[in-house]
A and B are shown apart, each in its own frame.
Chain A
Amino acid sequence: MSQEQPKKVRSEFIYFAWRNVKLRIGVSILLAFVLFSIIGPFLAKHDPLEYVGPMGAPPSREYWFGTTTFGQDVFSQFAHGTRSTLLVGLLGGSIGTLVGILVGLIAGYRGGLVDEFLNMITNIILIIPTLAVLIIIAAYLSVRGIFMQSVFIGLTAWPWAARAIRAQTFSLRVREFVDLARMTGRSSLRIVFTEIAPNMMSYLLLVFILQFGGAVLNAATLDFIGLGPTKGTSLGLIMNNAVLWAALQLGQWWWLLPPGAAIAAIVGALYITNVGLDEIFNPKLREM
C-alpha cells in the first residue's frame, strides 16, 4: 500500500495535468514565448537600436512590426525585448523565491525570537511599496543592466513569499514525519531542507510562478518610467520610448501595442498556469 503511493500520486498528477485546460493554455503560451525569445532575435534582420529604415512606417514585408519615429525596426526590438523580459522574470523570480524560502523556512521552523524578528522585518518590507524602492535604487545607478535589475527586483519582492512559506512551514512542523526526523537527532537545517521543503514543492512552484510574473511586471514598470537598462532594449523600454516620442498622438499603434500585449500575454499565461496547477495540487478545487 505505502509503496505504491508515490507512483499513484504521480500518475494522478499527470492525469489531472493533462485534463486541465487552464494548464494547457497557460503552458502553451509560455512555451511559445520562450521559443520566440530564443529564435526571435535570429529572425530579426536588423539591429534593434540602429536606424535602419524609413521613419514611423507601419508594418510591411521588410519591417514586420513597422518602424519607430527614428526608423528603428520594431520587430527586432520586440524580439530582443522579449528575451530580456523573460530573463528578468526568471532571474528576479528565482531570487525572490529563494530569499522567500530561506526566510520563511527559518522563521517557520525556528519559531520564537528568530521568527518574531524575521516576521517583523518581513512585515515592514511588505508595507513599503516595492516599486518606490526600486525607483530610488535604479535612479542612483549610473549603469543599469538586466542582471542588476533582476537582483534588485528579486531582493525587494520576497516578503509575501516568505510569509506564505512561513505559514506552510508552521503547519508542516508539527507533522509526525518531522517529529520522527527530530527524534533521530538530525540537525534543524537538514530537517528543514530534507523533510519540510520537499513536502512544499508544489507550493513553492506556485510561489515561483507568481514571483516570475511579479518580476516581469516590476521590470516593465521600471523600464517604462525610464529606469530600464541603459544599454540594450526591453519590452518596457520600447513602450517608454513610444510614449515619450508621441506614438500615441501620432497613432503609431505598431510601436505602442505589441510590447504591452506580450507582457500581458506572458503574465496572463503565468496566472492561468498558476490557477491550473493549484487545481491539480488541491483536490478540493478540481472540477469533477
Chain B
Amino acid sequence: MGRYLRRKLLIYILTFFVAVTIDWMIPRFMPGDPVSLMIARIGTRPEAAEVLRGYFIKAFGLDVPLWQQYLNFWKALFQGDLGVSIWLYPQPVIRIIQRAIPYDLFLLLPAIFLSWFAGNQVGALAARARWLDNTILPLGYLLTATPYMWLAIVLAWSLGNVAGIFPIAGAYSFAIRPHLSLQFILNLLHHWFLPFMSLFLVMFGGWAIGMRNMIIYELESDYSRYLEALGIPQSLIRKYAFRNAMLPQITGLALQLGGIVAGAVATEVVFAYPGIGYIILNAVQNQDYFLLQGCFLFIIIGVLLANFLIDLVYIIVDPRTRLGMTGE
C-alpha cells in the first residue's frame, strides 16, 4: 500500500512540476515576443498600455537570466502570486479564481457523482436483459458522442428559450443580491439546473456504457463461470460482477477528468456560468494571459487532487492495492 501510494505521489509531484514548467515556458518560447504582442493587442487602451508594459517586463522578469526567471516563477507561485488580471484590472488573478471555484465545485461535484452513480446502476441493469440493453446502449452512445457544448445549447434553446422554464445565463438573477435566503437558494438552483443537466447527461452515457461492458466482461470471467457451474444463484454472481466491475469504473473516473474539464469549460461558456470555464472565455477575449495561466494551474491542481482522492478510494475498495500486489 505504501509503495502504491508513494509511486502515485511521485507521479503527481512530477506532473505538477511539468505543468508549472509548461506554464512558465510557453510565453517565453513561443514564436514572437509576448510582451510587445500583448501590448499591441491591448492597444485599444492606451492609458493602460504604458503601465502594462512596465508591469509585464517586471512580471516576466525578462531582464534576468532564464534560470533565475524560472526560480522567481516558482517563488511567486508559492506566495500565491499569479499576477494581476487585465480583464478585471487591477484585481489579482488568484482572487478572481478563488471567486469562481465555488461555482465549479457546485456544478461539477454533483454532476460527476450523480452521473457516475446513475450510470453504473443503469449500465448494470442493461447487462441484465436484452431489451434493456437494446434501448440503453444506443442512448448511451448517443449521449456520450454529443459534444458538451451542443447538448448545453440544445437544452438552453429548448427548455430555456422556447419553453421558458429555465434561465439560460448566469448563476443567479442580476436582480438578486447574493445573500442567505430561501429565495436566493432557489434562484441559484434554478440557474444551476440546466448546466448541471447537460454535464450530467453526457457523462451518464459514458458511465452506463462502461459499466454495461465491464459487467458483461465480468460475467464471462472465470470466477463467474465457476460459480455458475456450482449452481450458485445469479443474484450472488451478479453481486460479485457488479462489485468487480466498479473497480475499473473508479479508475475510469480518474482517466475521464480531462474530458470533464473540457466539458465544464464548454458548458459554462454556453450558460455564462461564472466558473473557471467562463473566466477562461473572458481571459481569451481580453488577451488576459496571467489569468489564463492561473486558470491552467488551478485546473492542474484540481485534477491532481481529484486523482489523489480517487487513489485513496481505490485503496479502500480494492484489496489488491492494499496488499501492494499491483504497481499501476
How far is it, in angstroms, between the C-alpha of A127 and the C-alpha of B254 when the chains are bound? 8
CB proximity to B under 8 Å, residues A218-237: 218, 220-221, 224-227, 236
Contact of A142 among B32, B258, B289 (CB under 8 A): B32
B142 at the interface (CB under 8 A from A): yes
How far is it, in angstroms, between the C-alpha of A139 and the C-alpha of B22 when the chains are bound? 14
Chain A 127-169: CB-based contact to B (< 8 A → 1; otherwise 0):
1111111011101111000000000000000001000000000
How far is it, in angstroms, between the C-alpha of A73 and the C-alpha of B34 when the chains are bound? 36
Most chain B CB within 10 A, of A129, A137, A267, is at A129
A225 near B304 with CB under 8 A, answer no
B157 near A256 with CB under 8 A, answer yes
Beyond A127-B304, A251-B157, is A225–B266 a contact (Cβ under 8 Å)? yes
Contact of A137 among B19, B26, B142 (CB under 8 A): B26
B325 at the interface (CB under 8 A from A): no
Chain A 98-140: CB-based contact to B (< 8 A → 1; otherwise 0):
0000000000000000000000100111111111110111011
Min CB–CB distance B260 → chain A (angstroms): 8
Give the residue name and chain of the B residue nearest to A141 (CB): B30
A259 surroundings in chain B (CB, below 8 A) = 150
How far is it, in angstroms, between the C-alpha of A248 and the C-alpha of B149 when the chains are bound? 13
A95 at the interface (CB under 8 A from B): no
A251 surroundings in chain B (CB, below 8 A) = 157, 161-162
B262 surroundings in chain A (CB, below 8 A) = 129-131, 217-218, 221
A263 at the interface (CB under 8 A from B): yes
A51 at the interface (CB under 8 A from B): no
B284 near A227 with CB under 8 A, answer yes
B284 near A225 with CB under 8 A, answer yes
Beyond A127-B11, A142-B37, is A224–B299 a contact (Cβ under 8 Å)? no
Min CB–CB distance A143 → chain B (angstroms): 9
Beyond A128-B303, A218-B262, A251-B162, is A243–B34 a contact (Cβ under 8 Å)? no
A135 near B280 with CB under 8 A, answer yes
Beyond A142-B32, A239-B153, is A225–B269 a contact (Cβ under 8 Å)? yes
A64 at the interface (CB under 8 A from B): no
Most chain A CB within 10 A, of B147, B156, B285, is at B147
A191 at the interface (CB under 8 A from B): no
B304 surroundings in chain A (CB, below 8 A) = 127
A130 surroundings in chain B (CB, below 8 A) = 258, 262
Chain A interface residue number, banded: 35 or more
B168 near A260 with CB under 8 A, answer no
Beyond A160-B255, A220-B147, A221-B262, is A133–B22 a contact (Cβ under 8 Å)? yes
Beyond A226-B285, A248-B161, A264-B145, is A140–B154 a contact (Cβ under 8 Å)? no
Contact of B11 among A124, A139, A142, A243 (CB under 8 A): A124
A52 surroundings in chain B (CB, below 8 A) = none
B157 near A253 with CB under 8 A, answer yes
Chain B interface residue number, banded: 35 or more
A272 at the interface (CB under 8 A from B): yes
Give the residue name and chain of the A residue nearest to B140 (CB): A271
A131 near B153 with CB under 8 A, answer no
How far is it, in angstroms, between the C-alpha of A249 and the C-alpha of B144 when the chains are bound? 27
B26 near A136 with CB under 8 A, answer yes
Give the residue name and chain of the B residue nearest to A239 (CB): B149
How far is it, in angstroms, between the C-alpha of A140 and the C-alpha of B154 when the chains are bound? 32
B266 near A140 with CB under 8 A, answer no
Beyond A226-B285, A260-B154, is A128–B15 a contact (Cβ under 8 Å)? yes
A58 at the interface (CB under 8 A from B): no
B281 near A131 with CB under 8 A, answer no
Q: Which B residues are within 8 Å of any A CB, using their own CB?
A: 11-12, 14-15, 18-19, 22-23, 26-27, 30, 32, 34, 37, 141-142, 144-150, 153-154, 156-157, 160-162, 168-169, 220, 255, 257-258, 261-262, 265-266, 269-270, 277, 280-281, 283-285, 287, 289, 292-293, 295-296, 299-300, 303-304, 307
Closest 4 CB pairs of A and B: A260-B150, A268-B145, A129-B258, A131-B262
Give me 6 A-to-B residue pairs in the complex whose CB atoms sit less than 8 angstroms apart, sorted by A's number. Answer: A132-B261, A135-B296, A221-B148, A263-B147, A264-B145, A267-B147
